[in-house]
Chains A and B, each alone.
Chain A
């Protein structure tokens, strides 16, 4: 097909899509007058029933906690799959190859920049822990905070290189942490069985609202999700860097 033909087909398709989109989207309420019953219910109930101020976390970790388990295991399985693919060639030496872009780089990183990158690690860790533990009070939670925590490990590689990254990040412990994080969510859910309640019922005392301990199982689930996400991302990083920066076996 020539270029003109392809453009014609695209334009016809795009025009049809725009037409259908306008037809479907026109009767919808605008973003600010969107007030459906579910949102109203959750906004009032989350505070009254669960003592939490962030309704989204209440939905994620309590009212619809079962869906979040599915999401968490999507991440778990995709990390597992990536690690499996990355480890096809197992035979590897311990030496570390130079970064592939090293010789094509115009500006080398200076000591001052590396120091600044390293200095960012501590604030990142603190901020990540803050986001993980305040999920039930302000926007955030285990997932978002977990990725922030994982970027602290990334900074270690960016500032100091893979040799230091590999020495500081204990690979076995990270794998363990990922399993504990993923399993912890399930275990917290199963706690309810001891009280004869359904899976994931919020059985821990709800505490005082506006406090770190408010929300019963929510902060615990948030911390365990945070652990899983942090460890998952660090493992991915580790796998990719190991694959890219160590010599390949003869197989």
Chain B
């Protein structure tokens, strides 16, 4: 049991560090969802199945989805602004 817990903690440490060092915007949500899954495994290993279930749905599904959608919106806004600026310059 203690080895399982230590192993899971090591996974959390590794994936958490990876999240911090990931710079690509598109890959960040994926890395975050892996980190969320590792946290869920950790909760499971420490005998908190309820929290693990919440962590799976929020950390591995909800959060990455919202980040992706927000990134898509930002990209669209950037394109829109860019086009507006071009129109202004040509006038």
A-B residue pair count with CB separations less than 8 angstroms = 53
Whether the pair A148, B5 counts as a contact (CB closer than 8 A) is no
Instruction: Chain B residues near A140: list those with CB within 8 A.
Output: 50, 53
Chain A residues within 8 Å of chain B by Cβ, number: 25
User: DSSP class of B's interface residues: helix, strand, loop or mixed?
Assistant: helix
Instruction: Determine whether B13 belongs to the interface, using a CB cutoff of 8 Å to chain A.
Output: no
Tell me which residues across on chain A come within 8 A of B56, comparing CB atoms.
Answer: 144
Partner pick for A144 among B5, B47, B54, B70, CB 8 A cutoff:
B54
Minimal beta-carbon separation of A117 from chain B (angstroms): 15
CB pair A233 B53 closer than 8 Å: no
A40 shortest CB reach to chain B, Å: 15
When the two chains form the complex, which single residue of A31, A141, A147, A244 contacts B69, counting CB atoms closer than 8 Å? A244
- Residue A240, interface by CB 8 Å: yes
Nearest opposing residue in chain A for B2, CB measure: A32
Measured in the bound complex, the distance between the Cα atoms of B57 and A56 in whole Å is 17
Chain A facing B: main interface SS? helix
- Is the pair B1, A32 in contact by a Cβ cutoff of 8 Å? yes
Contact yes or no, B54 A240, CB < 8 A = no
Q: Which residues of A contact B79 (CB under 8 A)?
A: 100
Q: How many residues of B contact A (CB 8 A)?
A: 25
CA–CA, A56 to B47, complex, Å? 12
A236: interface (CB < 8 Å): yes
Flag if A31 contacts B50 (CB, 8 Å).
Answer: no
**A240 and B72 within 8 A (CB):** yes
How far is A125 from B70 in the complex, measured between Cα atoms in Å?
Answer: 26
The answer to the question of B7 belonging to the interface, with a C-beta cut-off of 8 Å to chain A, is no
Q: How far is the CA of A57 from the CA of B50 in the complex (A)?
A: 8
| Contact A244 B76, beta carbon cutoff 8 Å | yes
Interface residues in B71-85 (C-beta closer than 8 Å to A)? 72-73, 75-76, 79-80
Query: Which residues does chain A contribute within 8 Å of B70, judged by CB atoms?
Result: 240
Which 6 A-B residue pairings sit nearest by Cβ, starting from the closest? A147-B57, A240-B69, A56-B50, A139-B49, A139-B50, A144-B53
